[in-house]
Amino acid sequence: MLLKNLFRSRAAYIFLFCCCMVFSLECLGAVVHTPPVEPASHPFIEQISIDLDPFKNTGFAASAVSDTMNAIPEGQMCAIYRIDDRGARILATKNQRTDNHPVTSLMLHGFQEFVVFCTKNSLRIPKVEFAVYLDDWTTSDTPFPAPLFAFAKDNTQGEGLVLLPDFEMLSGYETTARQTQKACKHYPWKCKKEKVIWRGTTTGSPHNGLYTPENFRDFPRTQLVEISLANPTVVDARFTKLCQGAELFAARLAPYCGNFLSIPDHIRYKYQILVDGNTCAFSRCYWQLLSNCLMLKQESPHIQWYYRGLQPYVHYVPVHGDLSDLLKQVSWARSHDKKARRISKKATAFAEKHLTKEAAFTYMHRLFTEYEKLMVQ
């Protein structure tokens, strides 16, 4: 019951990681400067080249990193980190909100563990200073003077945003993985209910993320719930938390709300749907891939660092951005159960191979090594 309560919100999830975090890192010792292992097995390594391409010909001055953080609007979170042979540390923060937010220290801990990973694997530690945007995502279309690392982005956005594994990924997903894998054993494919399941919050990118009585039906998550209300034998989707303005007209949204379901509760159902909130759904995508269920993924311009490796009808079944073909895709899955099962297995294999902490660190080593080459001292 305690875990159920802790996982009711993303903020509580951050709190859980803070409670579980251990900062006792082992002594780094001497670094062996051997050529890095090329992560050729990563199907999404091309993302690094795409993200850094705007700086390929000109590079950027080290001083431009501070200019990039200064370009972030006031009130939003950003920090400058440094990684080198001595470890990882924070050089500067945007504001007091950044100082006090647990994501700032969680990312620092992840970078410290990255240094340990490099040392254990005899990889040269890149010497880099870089700015990390610490909110979910930035809507800026203005090119930045230096790369700005971010957890997610719209792939139509302007130059300068570079995707980086988020704090949940760098914390290891251990608790989420244990929950998911245990539930998979209790609810094998043949025992799952043939229905789409979803529980979540009133977030989304239309109208700057602000729900009102006039616009709330424009949000994809609202549209998903309305599909459920009209087709209860096919889809079970409800809000479990009202926020971003929706709480101000809660009475009107009462029919859209339902009971909280944990990750194991979700895995009792065969079909999981991934619908964006303010940006990508972060850890939800991870556990859905791992869940031994079929992921129905909303088509969206929002991407994370590994999305380039996900292929439609290989790792998931695509659904239009407005969810207009959701019922059609569920019908397809029901009538092609063996194919749906194969897709779920490939999704699980993808998560087990490419979404481990070690795989994320391997990706980061390649990313920071390429980034270092572009810094003009």
- pLDDT tens-digit map of 106-134: 999 999 999 999 999 999 999 999 999 99
Domains of the chain: 19-34+43-172+356-376 (no CATH), 174-354 (3.40.50.2000)
Q: What is the pLDDT of residues 266-308, one digit of tens each?
A: 999 999 999 999 999 999 999 999 999 999 999 999 999 999 9
In DSSP terms, 200 is beta-bridged to: 239
Place of tokens 């409800």: 238
Q: Which pLDDT value is given to residue 372? A: 97
Degrees (nearest 5) of the Cα angle 127, 38, 61?
A: 30
- Structure tokens that stand for 366 in this block: 């390649």
For residue 289, the SS3 value is helix
Q: Considering only CA atoms, which of 373, 356, 298, 339 is closest in space to residue 48?
A: 373
DSSP letters for 309-369:
G--BTTTBEEE-TT-TTHHHHHHHHHHTHHHHHHHHHHHHHHHHHHSSHHHHHHHHHHHHH
Q: Which pLDDT value is given to residue 3? A: 41
Q: What is the pLDDT of residues 234-246, one digit of tens each?
A: 999 999 999 999 9
Q: Look at residue 260 and tell me whether its pLDDT is greater than 50.
A: yes
Distance CA(276)–CA(260), nearest Å, equals 19
CA–CA distance from 268 to each of 13, 92, 131, 293, 347 (Å)? Answer: 22, 46, 41, 9, 17
**% of the chain beyond a pLDDT of 70:** 88
Whether the predicted model's global pTM rises above the 0.85 cut: yes
Q: What is the pLDDT of residues 162-176, one digit of tens each?
A: 999 999 999 888 889
Distance CA(164)–CA(171), nearest Å, equals 13
Phi, psi of 46 (to 5 degrees): -60, -25
CB burial of residue 19 (10 Å; 0-12, 13-18, 19+) = exposed
